[in-house]
Amino acid sequence: MNSANGAAVVVGVDGSEAASRAVRLAAREADRRHRPLRVVHGFIWPLLRVPVSAPAQAPPGAGLRHQAERLVAEAVTQAQAECPGLRITGEIIDGEAAAVLLGESPAAALVVLGDRGLGGFAALVLGSVAVQVAAHADCPVLIARGADRPAGPVVVGVDGSELSRAAVEFAAATASTRGARLHAVHAYTHPASHGAGDMQPLVYEEGELRGEEYQVLTEALTGIEERWPDVPVTRAVVHARPVAALTGAARDAQLLVVGRQGRGELSGLLLGSVSQGVLHRADCPVAVVRAPD
């Protein structure tokens, strides 16, 4: 995450209801983090060779460019109403929405967007722009979806990897800004493989296995309570598939945090199955955090 002074929370807008939810969420996040908010709109029409200026004799405000300007201005007004006094700027950037937001991500503290924009089909649970940005952004991505709860824990998925460590640290910092409890969840279905060629035992002792999995969770949280002493931490080790365990734990949560791989070979091409699953099924906003390179 870009923690430099002045790094903004960036929110993408397209005039949809999902984008409006994202603007409100992004404004609150920027306010909590004491960061400016940057509202951006990917203006794709010039790339498609479509005239964007108002035709001759058109009424004032006509034309695609004027419509985009109005859309951004309305989003800025909405954010100001949500968090008066917040520093907010708005900009129209020529380009496709996902590409524009990905271009913003290296300098952003956080990118926020809705789960489905105007181009999405109603039957789809998650829009392609949200998937692309969550999979490729250089900073954490927050998807506004599900219930917008002012209370409840921040839930984070833990698997013991560097990937989940990055997610845990983001979740703890976010819980601190929100005055929330951090609830760390580690799910398992069978004994883990510790190296290439390891054989999975056909029979194992459940109590012993559960103790080993609890140790994985404990190690992943090492130092968290010392770094964020204001954040109460609860733990859960669940014998279940990760997506089911995380979405179940997040039923009353205000945020669910998961990790994704960094820039290694093939890593940005697709979100992992757990990240994909919770983005499609969680009933609360979801943050996707990239692991360090």
Whether residue 74 sits in one domain with residue 46: yes
pLDDT in tens, 118-136: 554 433 445 689 989 999 9
At residue 274, the pLDDT reads 87
Tell me the average pLDDT of the chain: 84
Q: Which residue has the higher pLDDT, 64 or 102?
A: 102
Whether residue 209 sits in one domain with residue 87: no
Q: Which residues contact 122 (CB under 8 A, 6 or more apart)?
A: none
Q: What are phi and psi of 161, to 5 degrees?
A: -90, 170
Whether residue 251 sits in one domain with residue 158: yes
Beta strands in the chain (DSSP E): 9-12, 37-43, 88-94, 110-114, 141-144, 154-157, 182-188, 233-239, 255-260, 286-290
**Are the CB atoms for 26 and 142 separated by under 8 Å?**
yes
Whether residue 20 sits in one domain with residue 102: yes
118 in any annotated domain: yes
Segment of 21-25, 123-127, 277-281 carrying the highest mean pLDDT: 21-25
CATH of the domain at 227: 3.40.50.12370
How many domains does the chain contain in total? 2
Whether residue 241 sits in one domain with residue 218: yes
Of 110, 144, 178, the domain-final residue: 144
Whether residue 140 sits in one domain with residue 216: no
pLDDT in tens, 211-226: 888 898 999 999 999 9
Q: What angle do CA 259, 174, 135 make, to 5 degrees?
A: 25
Of 109, 144, 179, the domain-final residue: 144
CATH of the domain at 74: 3.40.50.620
Average of per-residue pLDDT across 271-278: 82
189, pLDDT greater than 60: yes
Residues 253, 247: Cα–Cα separation, whole Å: 9
Residues 107, 88: Cα–Cα separation, whole Å: 16
* Residue ranges making up the domain that contains 231: 154-290
At residue 164, the pLDDT reads 86
